[in-house]
Each structure stands twice: as C-alpha cells, then as structure tokens.
Amino acid sequence: MASEDGTPEGDGMSERDGMTERREITVRRAPKYVPFLILGGLVGIAVAAVIAYGRPGNETYDPGTVFGFFMVLCGAGGVILGAIAALILDRLSVRRAQHAVVEAVPEAGPEAGQPLPGAERQDPEGQTPSAPEHPHDNGHEAGPRS
C-alpha cells in the first residue's frame, strides 16, 4: 500500500523529512540450555564412575554392572541439575537486562545511487575492468590466486 504522497508505508523511513525509525529493545545474555544438559550428564557419569570403581564393593556384583546402574541414575540426575542451573542463570539474565534504542539505517543500493558493497564496477563503455595485479607478482610464484 502507498500513502497519498507516493511513499510506501511501513518501511521505517520517511523520505520527506529524512527521519529514521527508532525502536527500544531489550538486550540480555541468555544461557544455551543444551550445553548445560550435556555437561550435567557428563558430570553425572563421572560421579557414577567414582561410585562404581573408586570404592570397594560387594564381590557378588561386577563393577561394570554397578557402573551401568549408577550411570543411568547419576546421568539423569546430572541432566536435571544442569537444567536447573540453566533456568537459574536465565532468570538472573532477565534481571540484568538492559534497554537500548536502535535506529534503522538506510541501505546502500541502486535506489540510493550508491553501489552495493562487493559489486563489480563497470567502465563507461559497459565493460568490467580487470583487477590490478600485485606489483610483486610476476605470475611464476606459487600461491593462491584470486
């Protein structure tokens, strides 16, 4: 949709007065949950190994069987404790959130009369100029070429 003066609506810029759109945002550092869950599980497995192999046990049970049993229990407990730690850190990050104001910047492009970054320039005759060679490159040296 276009407004009555011919400028499109909702693009964030008013061409008449050069004003840009300003918005207030909330910036916070939230933890990633998956690393906390994995770390909790690994710590739980390490605790299970200490329980199974670090203590003298009953001779009727194989230490590998004891380790497998405690690995399930301690691994699940470690994952749960990792999730709780991530949730606590997430709540703390909400309290420490900061507010900022952002401003839309007009993009460079053919409409603005500026070339896009990385675009090839053309001669007035319509041909693309060749890239200047490096002054120390005689063409016989090994190495990457662009």
> What's the rounded Cα separation, in Å, for the pair 89 and 45?
23
3-class DSSP state of 9: coil
pTM above 0.85, yes or no: no
Residue 133 pLDDT: 55
> What's the rounded Cα separation, in Å, for the pair 66 and 58?
10
The arithmetic mean of pLDDT across residues 75-101, rounded, is 91
Greatest alpha-carbon span in the chain: 91
Both structure tokens of 96: 């420490």
The arithmetic mean of pLDDT across residues 75-100, rounded, is 91
pLDDT tens string 26-65: 888 888 999 999 999 999 999 999 998 888 877 888 888 8
Q: Is the dihedral of CA 4, 7, 8, 9 positive or negative?
A: negative
